[in-house]
A = this chain, B = another copy of it.
């Protein structure tokens, strides 16, 4: 049968296949590079990075819950300089796209990081306005359409690379947020970030996380993520990158059929470090089984 084409294009950037890593779950690629061949996946998305190093939250930062986990890392990161000096050169050695996830407390913080990355070997910027685990910035920008619009505009004005706005699921109407991002010039949206959750240890009568609340991710959230991706994809014309509980090629395809042009694997890397590469193979197998030659034919076909 004819060649299978798994290429997808996000904001003019061609990915060899739609499988990405979800920010914060794959380090800067180094750690899981021991398990998967980074050349085989569409893009590596790095952990959120800020203008200066961030310490993150106190521990415990992670807790297991039914079919998923909570995390309240609090965006610990070594700062954008270390990223540029250590992580980007490492990623450049691979034939994969590099997406840098950017976080900040103020609009200026975001802009500073984006400007610093302007001439670096970065293909796309993912702007994280949806982390539920830090007090300032982040999610505050991602839960009000006007705030999202403003920060998108500010970042877009300075960004040399196309920008992906990463949306929070902790909102009443995801379409409103996707539209605000699009209206402000975002090149793509990605969703979902984690859903705010809580776990209590009934024997010690304490919170499982030092931060009390944390972000829920893993298979438990998949139906919510698929729904939001579907809604967002029908609300905007820019590409949608889908994530939330993806564990298998079947899950990835579910997001693609719902309207995602690419997908990202998060928490399930922890369960099975080979997930990303296995999904690439599984998508090809699905395409062969159903005689689909171009992956793009599948994007958003379930309406």
Contact = CB atoms under 8 A, between A and B. Distances in A.
Contacts of A216: 223-224
Contacts of A65: 222-223
A interface majority secondary structure: mixed
Interface stretch (A36-44, A106-114, A121-129, A251-259): A251-259
Nearest to A247: B66
A249 to B, nearest CB: 9
Contact of A199 (B66, B172, B196, B223): B223
Nearest to A212: B230
A196 B171 CA distance: 12
Given A205-B302, A220-B67, A226 B199 contact: yes
Given A202-B250, A205-B302, A197 B223 contact: yes
A66 B219 contact: yes
A254 B202 contact: yes
A182 to B, nearest CB: 19
Interface in A265-303: 286, 301-302
Contacts of A172: 143-144, 170-172
Nearest to A208: B223
B202 A253 contact: yes
Contacts of A195: 224
A286 B202 contact: yes
Most chain B CB within a 10 A radius of its CB, from A70, A144, A199: A199
Interface in A223-264: 223-224, 226-227, 230, 245, 250, 253-254, 257-258
A145 to B, nearest CB: 10
A68 interface: yes
Given A219-B67, A222-B66, A227 B257 contact: no
Given A143-B172, A224-B216, A302 B200 contact: yes
Interface of A: 65-68, 70, 143-144, 170-173, 195-200, 202, 205-207, 212-213, 216, 219-224, 226-227, 230, 245, 250, 253-254, 257-258, 286, 301-302
25 contacts: A66-B219, A66-B220, A67-B219, A68-B220, A143-B173, A172-B172, A197-B224, A197-B227, A198-B223, A198-B226, A198-B230, A198-B258, A199-B223, A199-B226, A200-B254, A200-B257, A200-B258, A200-B302, A202-B254, A202-B257, A205-B301, A207-B302, A212-B230, A213-B227, A220-B223
